Amino acid sequence: MNLNLPNLITVARIIITPVFLAVILTESLPHRFLIACIIFSIAAISDAIDGHLARKNNQITNFGKFLDPIADKVLTTSALLAFMSMGLCNIWIVMLVLTREFAIASVRMIAASGGVVIPANIWGKIKTVSQMVFTILIMLLAEIWEILTDINVNLPELSLVSNGLLWITAVLTIISGIIYLNDSKKIIDFTK
């Protein structure tokens, strides 16, 4: 295991995720959505930083290729689960996303057992970026909704907006999963 700087940043993203989850789920915490949004944003930005540093400094490792997508999934899945517990995410979205993630993780494990590491493709990156951007947007909207509700401003249900955004990510998740599985057939011999 090579814990160079990009890999350390990836590990830090995994470690910061429970902190994000604890903050967003603590209803008594003032401005919890804003604080959670800042924590999540730092973690999301670290995803771009670790990849950039790994490429720039020629520090791309199999450990990083394997762990980076896991760190992303831990972060984005925790946000979906938090949203679901608050009524901001439909359970079917979570089911579709988790099914895709388990399927891809299984293919990665099969590939790894044959000494092959399959990195994320552009569709997987688009899916991850959309999940992160929409998660940040939903938390900002939740913060605004909470402030305006406290001063008796009538607003439409935030769940309509959040579910609309998250269905987009669910569709991208399915598309990226299908492409990944199709591409993996060219690399892995599934007959063994």
Of the candidates 44, 54, 47, 43, the one whose C-alpha atom is nearest the C-alpha of residue 68 is 47
Does residue 13 sit within a domain? yes
> Distance between CA atoms of 38 and 44, rounded to whole angstroms?
10
User: In the predicted model, what is the mean pLDDT of residues 41-56?
Assistant: 88
- 31: amino acid identity, one letter: H
Does residue 109 sit within a domain? yes
Neighbours of 139 (CB within 10 A): 27
- Inform me whether the pLDDT recorded for 181 exceeds 60: yes
The CATH number linked to 88 is: 1.20.120.1760
Give the gyration radius of the chain's Cα atoms. 18
User: In the predicted model, what is the mean pLDDT of residues 49-75?
Assistant: 83
The total number of structural domains that make up the chain: 1
> Distance between CA atoms of 39 and 44, rounded to whole angstroms?
9
Contacts (Cβ under 8 Å, ≥6 apart) of 113: none
b/e sequence 141-163, b meaning 16+ C-beta within 10 Å: bbbebeeeeeeeeeeeebbebbb
- Inform me whether the pLDDT recorded for 91 exceeds 80: yes
CB 39 within 8 A of CB 62: no
pLDDT digits (tens, 9 = 90+) for 111-164: 877 777 776 778 888 988 899 999 999 999 999 998 887 777 676 789 999 999
Does residue 192 sit within a domain? no
CA distances to 73, 80, 94, 126 from 98, rounded to whole Å, are: 9, 10, 6, 17
Q: Containing domain of residue 64, as a range?
A: 5-187
Does residue 17 sit within a domain? yes
Count the residues in the chain: 192
pLDDT digits (tens, 9 = 90+) for 127-139: 888 999 999 999 9
Neighbours of 191 (CB within 10 A): 4
